[in-house]
């Protein structure tokens, strides 16, 4: 079995964009599961993504009571044998790998956001850390970004940073 993932975070709609970019919606249509690591800002973004694919998400520090009532602070799920967790914020980049190993010992992949800075590393404990950046608010990054990935045979493969 193969599961196609779309990873995104920090959409900040309507503050940074009026709506999700068309390439993001097309990527959601191609995905089996969309994983959003928080800072949606408007619940309408969650509603729209749910029209395109199944969504696994968490709330971020900029999300209000409406999203906090619908989403957890941390989400965990096993997808085709891969244990995935999602959280908005992981703290400073310095020592992140060691902190996340300690905080998520029972996880294979941790998707996070908050910084708007794409990140793809593997910790000493073999935890894959992924931050897809932001499709609407690149801050000091050269491009707006999301990530795509595939789970096949119990392994995460094909992780790709995609410019939007």
Transcribe the chain into DSSP letters. -EEEEEEE----BTTT-SS--HHHHHHHHH-SEEEE-S--BSHHHHHHHHTTSEEEE---TT--HHHHHHS-SEEEEEETTEEEEEES----STTHHHHHHHH-TT-SEEE--SS---EEEE-TT--EEEE---SS--TTSSS-EEEEEEEETTEEEEEEEEE-
* 153 has pLDDT over 90: yes
- Domain 2-163: assigned CATH number: 3.60.21.10
Domain ranges in the chain? 2-163
| Whether residue 15 has pLDDT greater than 90 | no
Q: What is the pLDDT of residues 33-58, one digit of tens each?
A: 999 999 999 999 999 999 999 999 99
């Amino acid at each position: 079995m193969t599961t196609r993932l779309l990873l995104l975070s920090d959409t900040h709609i309507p503050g940074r964009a009026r709506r999700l970019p068309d390439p993001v919606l097309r990527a959601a249509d191609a995905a089996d599961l969309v994983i959003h690591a928080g800072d949606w800002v408007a619940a309408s973004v969650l509603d729209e993504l749910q029209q395109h694919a199944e969504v696994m998400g968490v709330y971020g520090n900029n999300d209000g009571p409406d999203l906090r009532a619908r989403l957890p602070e941390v989400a965990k799920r096993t997808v085709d044998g891969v244990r995935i967790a999602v959280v908005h914020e992981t703290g400073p980049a310095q020592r992140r790998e060691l902190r996340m190993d300690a905080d998520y010992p029972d996880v294979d992949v941790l998707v996070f956001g908050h910084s708007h800075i794409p990140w793809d590393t593997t910790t000493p404990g073999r935890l894959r850390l992924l931050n897809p950046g932001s499709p609407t608010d690149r801050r000091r990054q050269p491009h707006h970004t999301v990530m795509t990935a595939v789970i096949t045979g119990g392994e995460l493969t094909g992780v790709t940073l995609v410019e939007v």
